[in-house]
Amino acid sequence: MKTISTAKSHGGVQGVYSHASEACACDMTFAVFVPPQAKDGPCPVVWYLSGLTCTHQNVMDKGEYRRLAAEFGLIVVCPDTSPRGESVPDEKDNWQFGCGAGFYLDATQAPFSTNYRMYSYITEELPALIAKEFPADMTRQAIFGHSMGGHGALTIALKDPERFKSCSAFAPITRPMVAGWSRPAFEKYLGTDEAAWRAYDAVALIEDGKRFPEFLVDQGSADGFLEDGLRPWLLDEACKAAGIPLKLNMREGYDHSYFFISTFMDDHLRWHAERLAK
């Protein structure tokens, strides 16, 4: 692991790091905030997964999470959204696919299967590195994210409910198998057999029997992607059918941007802190 930068913030340390990833077959960059409480012992870990076109930088610069993370003693890990580099296959004119659009899945189709293994990276490789290099209490983990990252958080939590104490999302893609801006990516990454897609679709996972204790979702009513890409009502219907408590907040007038995310970031961090403290 290489340290790219560190800065003191709210008594803790905001760092940016890189390492050679085996899962993604390239160098990966990620951000970690370590709160001041870490000097006294390991702290719980909250994972934040970013959305399409983003890197670790977006939430680090605009997410406004450090004040409450320092207050509650939370380590916040912000990975990149996809592999990057000259050797990584990409569609530079397509913001919904390739670098910046890894969809937190393990691709099975060439040429993408070599690098686009974000599910394994987020669930296996990076947690092992965090456990080794940071004062992290890996018995207490939470996960949340935005848009594509909200999709990733929901699916990862549903498939590993014993690992995560809580899960939430800002404007998640709830049904990527059929959404206009994610379905083409699924076909390129996973092939044409839609049965394989269900492992990376929150609604499908719930329909197939996966469960999580409860979810928190915030969604802006003025989000331009609401109808075609996000459709939180589909998650609401699936959760009701499965008996999963879902707190779905429709936020009047808010869009898809970090103005929306930063407004409600405190609510999500409090949600996770309460559950990580139990």
The answer to whether the Cα torsion of 96, 102, 106, 110 is positive or negative is positive
How is the beta sheet containing 75-79 ordered, strand by strand? 2-9, 12-21, 26-34, 75-79, 43-49, 136-146, 164-170, 215-220, 246-251
CA distances from 2 to 31, 129, 211 (A): 12, 12, 37
10 is catalytic: no
Instruction: For 75-163, list the strands marked E by DSSP.
Output: 75-79, 136-146
Least Cα distance to 51 among 106, 103, 90 occurs for 103
Residues 188/209/141/262 CA torsion (nearest 10 deg):
60
- The pairing of beta strand 2-9 with beta strand 43-49: unpaired
Distance CA(13)–CA(135), nearest Å, equals 12
Which is catalytic among the residues 182, 218, 223, 272?
Answer: 223
**Token pair belonging to 200:** 């990376």
223 is catalytic: yes
Instruction: For 126-225, list the strands marked E by DSSP.
Output: 136-146, 164-170, 215-220
Which is catalytic among the residues 147, 166, 168, 182?
Answer: 147
256 is catalytic: yes
Structural contact between residues 235 and 172, judged by C-beta atoms closer than 8 angstroms: yes
- How many Cα atoms sit within 13 Å of 91 on the Cβ side? 14
Q: What are phi and psi of 31, to 5 degrees?
A: -115, 145
Task: Please list the active-site residues.
Answer: 147, 223, 256
